[in-house]
């Protein structure tokens, strides 16, 4: 190749790189931390199955304030509150939020904060978003504008989470761009509030690693971890085709896979300089208890070893840690979550 041709090739390459940079869906925000600060959330429980349903009680559980006390007493510092806001917002502009629902979230949030806990308030089960994002993004922005206004001036212990588990038409690029728009709305009233960003592909590791999140000084990366899915979701009644029961977990190579997965998530966090929260992890409640506890303990300990904050899914309904019928903790799950960390190698007794 002659000098002139080389110049042309170099010029073309530079042009391609410049175009690629322009087409990056969401530019990273400035003000990013050089070293990832610790996650403000260390040990958290998803207060799932209540406001997550279309109406509270639909799935047989209503949040009692003593549940918050129980979690605080057990050593949890945070509750994640999944709320199906799309079932409590108008269909047309301005997508008005139901004041009764806001009063209910206020009650739980105020109480938890008064007990020294953080609360992550999210938008859960907005499944239409994954099919017709263009139309529903407008509505989500309207929902966030109202939540941002309603919770203006709240203590830092209130944390927002943009959207649970985008998937389908909510590709990584679309999710990054949506995060950016929602952050702009939230930041008007909440310049310094922690915000957990949505990650595509069900919040999975793949979704996280494929994201270009619009980070700033108070954003938290998120990962949902249910690997291997065939183990954690075996027999799950809410899946149309649930994986068959009888799957075991706990061999050395399976443990290594957890370490490798969480290690890649931690490397991504360190490269980006934002804290990371494993916002959901757990095992379906019909899986034999010893197997469930083994997985929960191993994943929890590995997360702590990698300085990843975590939030168990869930509390008293699916994937539960607490038995509301008997009004008592499911001992092995509680112990798996709260006992002192141990090196991963010491955890398994599985074959």
The residues binding ligand GLC (CB under 6 A) are 125, 164-165, 280, 313, 318
Cα–Cα separations (whole angstroms), residue 154 to 58, 229, 302, 305:
29, 37, 33, 32
Shortest Å, Cβ 163 to ligand GLC: 11
Distance CA 234, CA 25 (A): 36
Residue identified by tokens 């990054």 is 176
By beta carbon distance, the residue nearest ligand GLC is 318
Nearer to ligand GLC, 165 or 176 (CB): 165
Shortest Å, Cβ 320 to ligand GLC: 11
Nearer to ligand GLC, 115 or 167 (CB): 167
Shortest Å, Cβ 159 to ligand GLC: 17
Distance CA 21, CA 51 (A): 41
Distance CA 254, CA 297 (A): 14
Nearer to ligand GLC, 125 or 300 (CB): 125
Cα–Cα separations (whole angstroms), residue 25 to 176, 178, 212, 285:
7, 10, 8, 39
Nearer to ligand GLC, 227 or 280 (CB): 280
Nearer to ligand GLC, 49 or 272 (CB): 49
SS (H, E, C) 98-134: CHHHHHHHHHHHHHHHHCCCEEEEEECCCHHHHCCHH
Nearer to ligand GLC, 46 or 118 (CB): 46
Shortest Å, Cβ 318 to ligand GLC: 5
Residue identified by tokens 């991504």 is 268
In three-state secondary structure terms, 160 is strand
Nearer to ligand GLC, 73 or 239 (CB): 239
Question: Could you give phi then psi for residue 85, rounded to 5 degrees?
Answer: -60, -30
- Residue 275 · residue 265 · CB < 8 Å: no
Shortest Å, Cβ 187 to ligand GLC: 26
Shortest Å, Cβ 125 to ligand GLC: 6
Shortest Å, Cβ 336 to ligand GLC: 17
Q: What is the DSSP secondary-structure string of 169-232?
A: T--HHHHHHHHHHHHHHHHHH-TT--EEPP-HHHH-HHHHHT------TTEEEEEEE--SHHHH
Crossing angle (nearest 10°) for helices 289-305 and 252-272: 40
Tokens encoding 349: 């007794």
Shortest Å, Cβ 54 to ligand GLC: 12
Nearer to ligand GLC, 125 or 312 (CB): 125
Distance CA 199, CA 175 (A): 7
């Amino acid at each position: 190749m002659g000098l002139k041709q080389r110049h042309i090739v170099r010029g073309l390459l530079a042009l391609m790189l410049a175009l690629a940079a322009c087409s990056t869906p969401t530019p990273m925000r400035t003000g990013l931390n050089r070293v990832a600060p610790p996650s403000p959330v260390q040990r958290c429980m998803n207060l799932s199955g209540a406001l997550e349903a279309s109406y509270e009680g639909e799935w047989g559980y209503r949040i009692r304030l003593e549940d918050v006390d129980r979690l605080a007493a057990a050593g949890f510092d945070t509750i994640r509150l999944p709320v199906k806001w799309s079932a409590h917002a108008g269909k047309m502009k301005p997508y008005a939020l139901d004041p009764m629902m806001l009063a209910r979230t206020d009650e739980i949030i105020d109480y938890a904060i008064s007990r020294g806990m953080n609360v992550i308030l999210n938008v859960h089960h907005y499944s239409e978003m994954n099919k017709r994002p263009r139309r529903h993004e407008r509505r989500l922005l309207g929902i966030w504008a109202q939540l941002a206004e309603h919770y203006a001036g709240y203590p830092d212990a209130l944390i927002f989470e943009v959207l649970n588990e985008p998937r389908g038409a909510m590709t990584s690029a679309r999710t990054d761009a949506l995060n950016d728009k929602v952050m702009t709305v939230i930041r008007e009233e909440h310049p310094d509030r922690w915000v957990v960003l949505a990650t595509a592909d069900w919040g999975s590791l793949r979704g996280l690693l494929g994201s270009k999140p619009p980070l700033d000084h108070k954003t938290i990366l998120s990962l949902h971890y249910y690997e291997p899915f065939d183990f954690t979701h075996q027999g799950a009644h809410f899946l149309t085709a649930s994986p068959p029961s009888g799957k075991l977990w706990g061999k050395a190579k399976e443990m290594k896979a957890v370490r490798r997965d969480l290690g890649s998530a931690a490397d991504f966090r360190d490269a980006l300089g934002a804290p990371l929260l494993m916002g959901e992890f757990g095992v379906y409640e019909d899986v034999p208890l010893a197997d469930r506890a083994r997985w929960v303990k191993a994943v929890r300990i590995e997360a702590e070893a990698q300085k990843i904050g975590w939030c168990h899914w869930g509390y008293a309904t699916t994937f539960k840690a607490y038995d509301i019928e008997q009004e008592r903790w499911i001992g092995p799950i509680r112990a798996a979550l709260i006992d002192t960390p141990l090196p991963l190698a010491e955890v398994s007794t599985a074959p």
